[in-house]
Structure 1
Amino acid sequence: MNSQNTLKFVPHIPNNVPEVKVMVAPEGLWHPMTDGTWPLHPFAYDKWEIEELSWHDTCYIHAGLNPFLQFAVKGKEFLDLMEAVSVNTFRNFPIGKARHTILCNDQGKIIIDGIIIRRSEEDFICACLPDPAMFNTQLGNQFKITTEYIGDSNFFYQMCGPKSLQIVEEAARQDLHDLKFMHTADAKIAGKEVFILRTGMAGTLGYEVHGKTKDAHEVYNKLLEVGEKYGIQRLGRLAYVNAHCEGSIPQIAEHFATPMDPVALSGSLPRDSELLFRSPVDLGWEKLVKFNHDFPGKEALKKELEGPHNTAVHLIWNKEDVLKVMAGSMDPEKQYDTMDLACDYDYVRNNAGMHIDAVYDGEKMIGASSGRMLSPKTRDMISIGSINSDYAIEGQVVEVLWGNPESNQVRVRVTVTLFPYIKENRNENFDTETIPRPIFD
């Protein structure tokens, strides 16, 4: 690191939280921003249980993904390009719509997934995906597009919980009740132009607020000001990680690895297992796969769906067995691997690794478990499993093998529950008419 550079907050959030003592790099990736500064985010603002209850009871605001991997793309042929490289189709993709987009290798394993947002006839935002110009080059530059990295110049804040709509509406002074899931609306907050996307990572009602970094502090502070009476909670990195698991949204580097990057694996999953990487089918995303066009992995995914395959479920860990593991980790003779309450994700994340356990029925390995967390709401230890679909039965009992291969391993009973874990008032189905419409002076 250059001696003239210092570790500091990213410019996307105000540096006004002196009570926060522990900071982390965005998503655990240590790299400077384009101006040479090294960004930091709060690891936690409060106890992780308090932060996590926000998406059930009030609303959180999370800025910890900034600066985000985002590209502004211009050119209608961008949709043809993305259809050539992803499992998705974009033949019905109206202005204002966002789409979860998945890219696979020839073996049908997910390389990366992200979001594409259509802002106008010719303008798009490509989020959490590589520069589309790279794909165009690989395909001989046959598509007329231009791209620009906007991760440093743009911000986005995630807000999730039953009070999120009221906070965003009051901050924007705009009725957003009719905004559909995965659609956008232009607005102004604190006099600054933003757009709002109805989506979220915790499964409950949620919105994202997008704008320019130069306006970030004013927008952030306005959302906090409005949200105070609704019990808004700032969300740190630790609690945010658990939102994906409880929200039934599998994530790269949390629930599965990607063939693009090397990974240091923790847990009982055999190091050569195919479940280190996942296909859209493994994650229950097969409805996003459209076979009406050619794309990498098409034949592999067709073959996978034609035979026995996996799907995604939640696993509820037996409490008696969990307590035995915890007791065994303090027993000098057993010395079981420590089972943290919060999550396995940060256990190895900053070493470019992740934690995945094998799932068994007797001596037969039937899948993998990852993203284990304690739900502060239900007080259950849960994880996301990719398991043989024959076992995807509500109430089915199987076992997770806990512990690294070099440790004393122990089996933990787990009960299958079908997606989603949060089954009521989910964002995609939430009836916003149950919330009073705003009245402005």
Structure 2
Amino acid sequence: MTESAADAIARAGGPLPLLRNAQARPTIFPVTPEFSNWRSEQRSWRESVALLDQSHHMTDLFISGPDAARLLSETGVNSFATFPVDAAKQFVAVNDEGYLIGDAILFHLEEDVYDLVGWYMVLDWVQFIGETGDYDVTFERDANTLMRDAGVPPRLYRYELQGPHSLALMEKLTGASVPKTKFFGMATFEIDGVRVRSLRHGMAGQPGFELFGPWEEGERILAAILAAGAEFDLVRVGAKAYSSANLESAWVPSPLPAIFTGRRSAEYLAWLPAARLGSLAGSFVADDIEDYYLTPYDLGYGRSVAFDHEFIGRAALERHAAAEQRTKVTLVWDPEDVAAAQRSLYEEGVPAKYIDFPKARYGLYQVDRVSVDGVDAGISHDVGYITGEQVFVSLASVAPAFAEPGTRVVVTWGEEPTSAKPAVERHRQIDIRATVAPAPFSRFARETYRTA
């Protein structure tokens, strides 16, 4: 019998000891780690065109039926006043208390048919509300390759073309001018005689196209892309580089979902399999799980919130909107301190927590303490290296008083006491100095692409 999240939490003595000591290994993207090397692959989405395979690491939740639109409207903070077929948007959900459950990309595929794509946290929540509420909907889940039964292929292929040459490559592939499409706009093309749907998108804040269609047609489309891409310096991107792309666009992929307390939490945790709870890592330590909760505003999602409809958590979110919110920023870590942490591996005594490249996150939910003069200033999320800028950074949510670019802060790296997670070795905590910078860090993403 599958253990429920509620049973697992009771067994561990609470959500925090369970998440802190979860035996889940760090999340990996189940594709080739490197086709060449992750440094060159990172540069490709800035300098030429990158091909990223998204077919295996995301989960699709297909939602259909006469009440599908109503379910999504009542669980999403986004406006659904206009959302026609062949449109897509970032979908954001909160709990009854207005705290973030998560976000994903929502595609309107056909009349009354939608595909919610991304991390499973928000997908689980929407499915739970649909199954336990009064909705005439049907769900079909296509889990990522790590969670899918062995030998069963994905339902869809997904390839992303990203970088300054992506538009020229698309026109070569389709044999026609690509119509101007706004960010998150959708279009349909023909490639090698096959109908392909496209989302205008960019994981690293560069211009890009996410192409998708039936899995059976994926190899044919891939072959066409590779053949046409040679003249545009196409670079295939492996899991290592791809996992770091969000650092440039400032998307936080897996904030801790606010599912452990609140009005529906008991029923939801009894419904949710324990295997999907994840793991908590980092130096921020609190006794109350709610201290780890975020609002959409803490991650810069205020632009997605629309109080033009009724949705779960609306009243509470209106109160959050009126209060002071944290600001999403990029923290540029001092190279001397990062080098000192790495150098400790070669010195006597207990070293600092190992810093991996290009991505140093070692739990599904990475939450590190950010402070100024010993006073808490916010939390640091995803962390890693950007080759194109030659900087080591983390994405963070900090109090407005510390959000001005140039502000000096300290990130505490490592756990004390150390947890029992498999990715945590014997180490000592250290302080790493950092400087606040804008998010997205990429000027192109900040000033050109995301505003187009």
Please give the range of the TM-score, normalised by the shorter of the 2 chains: 0.7 to 0.9
Change (3 A) 1:328 1:67: closer
Kindly provide the CA deviation profile for residues 250-302 of structure 1, in whole angstroms up to 9, marking residues without a partner as x. Answer: 111xxx22245434333211154645342211101112112232322223322
Contact between 1:186 and 1:195, CA under 8 Å: does it hold in 2? Answer: yes
1:245 deviation in Å?
1.3
The alignment partner of 2:297 has SS state of coil
Q: Which amino acid aligns with 1:385?
A: A
Distance 1:274 1:245 in 2: 25
In the alignment, which residue of structure 2 is the partner of 1:235?
237
Contact between 2:32 and 2:238, CA under 8 Å: does it hold in 1? Answer: yes
Aligned with residue 58 of structure 1, among 48, 56, 63: 48
In the alignment, which residue of structure 2 is the partner of 1:183?
185
- 1:19-418 paired onto structure 2 within 5 Å: 28=28, 40-66=30-56, 68-75=58-65, 77-128=67-118, 130=123, 134-141=128-135, 144-149=136-141, 152-252=154-254, 256-259=255-258, 261-272=276-287, 274=290, 276-333=292-349, 335-345=351-361, 347-348=362-363, 353-406=364-417, 407-418=427-438
The alignment partner of 1:321 has SS state of helix
Change (3 A) 1:122 1:140: closer
Which range is displaced more, 401-410 or 200-209?
Answer: 401-410
Change (3 A) 1:133 1:247: closer
Kindly provide the CA deviation profile for residues 394-413 of structure 1, in whole angstroms up to 9, marking residues without a partner as x. Answer: 11111111221134322211
Contact between 2:87 and 2:184, CA under 8 Å: does it hold in 1? Answer: yes
Q: Structure 1: give runs of 5+ residues left out of the alignment.
A: 1-24, 30-39, 431-441
The alignment partner of 2:188 has SS state of strand
Change (3 A) 1:371 1:26: closer
The alignment partner of 1:203 has SS state of coil
1:77 deviation in Å?
4.0
Distance 1:237 1:361 in 2: 35
Q: Structure 2: give runs of 5+ residues left out of the alignment.
A: 1-24, 144-153, 260-275, 418-426
Distance 2:328 2:127 in 1: 33
The alignment partner of 1:302 has SS state of helix
Aligned-pair Cα RMSD in Å: 2.5
Contact between 1:206 and 1:427, CA under 8 Å: does it hold in 2? Answer: no
1:67 deviation in Å?
6.6
Distance 2:357 2:28 in 1: 20
1:354 deviation in Å?
4.2
Change (3 A) 1:201 1:174: same
Q: Which amino acid aligns with 1:409?
A: Q
Change (3 A) 1:189 1:26: farther
Q: Which amino acid aligns with 2:99?
A: K
Distance 1:237 1:214 in 2: 22
1:76 deviation in Å?
5.9
Change (3 A) 1:67 1:420: closer
User: Paired residues, what number?
Assistant: 386
Change (3 A) 1:71 1:309: closer
Larger % of helix: which? Answer: 2
1:213 deviation in Å?
0.7
Distance 2:414 2:114 in 1: 45
Change (3 A) 1:175 1:147: farther
1:133 deviation in Å?
5.7
Distance 2:351 2:436 in 1: 28
TM-score (norm 1): 0.81
Contact between 2:382 and 2:394, CA under 8 Å: does it hold in 1? Answer: yes
Distance 1:421 1:67 in 2: 25
Kindly provide the CA deviation profile for residues 19-57 of structure 1, in whole angstroms up to 9, marking residues without a partner as x. Answer: xxxxxx99648xxxxxxxxxx521221211111111111
1:61 deviation in Å?
1.2
Which range is displaced more, 263-272 or 208-217?
Answer: 263-272
Higher RCO (C-alpha 8 Å, min separation 6):
2
Change (3 A) 1:182 1:396: same
Which range is displaced more, 411-420 or 117-126?
Answer: 117-126
